[in-house]
């Protein structure tokens, strides 16, 4: 359900584009993003950073697209969002004891080592960088209609494939629920009698 809620503005953008054009679709994604943040706040009394960052970029770049009647700005939005997330995930490696991914997921899963969290976080950094670059490639080398299709189906599909791959990788490092401490080598029991 949360995935649908997160992708709703993009889905509405896609529908509006197919019915009207890029400018109406841009206005729709601005309104949908504002509604998304507002509804989330009403329900949870907080705002998700991802929604807020996306909203700010949609309003700025979408507003520029509509005001200047130039779709170039909205083409850049997915790339900027992805590269900002890459920067945040990368920066989290050096700030604090836990990276962003560990902070987000450690309540749901316990991994066998800190190194696994590092590798997973860096995999997301690489994924965000690649997604941003692929968006630009599609936006500037194909027709607008192809880019709109890619924005919904391609980006969502690539994200799902990446998450499945990461889940398969994670499976070997998830600790059983009954064991809350990392696996350690068994220590021989000491005798109570000193020899």
Note the pLDDT of residue 184. Answer: 41
- State the residue for tokens 């998304």: 36
Res. 189 pLDDT band, cuts 50 70 90: very low
Predicted model pTM: 0.81
What average pLDDT does the segment 83-89 reach? 94
What average pLDDT does the segment 123-138 reach? 97
**What are 174's strand-pairing partners?**
111
What tokens were used for 179? 């064991």
More confident residue, 106 or 118: 118
- pLDDT of residue 79 exceeding 90: yes
- State the residue for tokens 């900027």: 80
> DSSP alpha helices (H): ranges in 45-154?
49-57, 63-68, 72-91, 100-105, 114-141, 144-149
Instruction: Determine contact, residues 124/143, Cβ cutoff 8 Å.
Output: no
Percent of the chain with pLDDT over 90: 63
Residue 110 CA from chain centroid, whole number: 21
Give the tens place of pLDDT for each residue, 12-42: 999 999 999 999 999 999 999 999 999 999 9
């Amino acid at each position: 359900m949360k995935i649908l809620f997160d992708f709703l503005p993009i889905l509405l953008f896609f529908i509006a584009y197919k019915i009207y054009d890029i400018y109406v679709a841009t206005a729709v994604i601005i309104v949908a993003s504002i509604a998304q943040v507002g509804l989330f706040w009403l329900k949870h009394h907080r705002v998700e950073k991802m929604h807020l960052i996306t909203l700010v970029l949609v309003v700025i770049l979408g507003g520029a697209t509509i005001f200047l009647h130039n779709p170039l700005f909205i083409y850049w939005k997915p790339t900027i969002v992805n590269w900002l997330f890459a920067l945040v995930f990368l920066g989290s490696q050096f700030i604090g004891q836990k990276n962003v991914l560990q902070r987000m997921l450690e309540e749901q899963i316990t991994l066998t080592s800190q190194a696994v969290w590092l590798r997973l976080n860096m995999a997301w950094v690489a994924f965000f960088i690649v997604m941003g670059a692929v968006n630009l490639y599609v936006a500037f080398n194909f027709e607008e209609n192809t880019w709109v299709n890619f924005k919904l189906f391609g980006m969502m599909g690539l994200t799902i494939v990446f998450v499945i791959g990461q889940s398969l990788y994670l499976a070997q490092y998830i600790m059983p629920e009954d064991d809350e401490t990392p696996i350690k080598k068994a220590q021989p029991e000491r005798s109570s009698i000193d020899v």
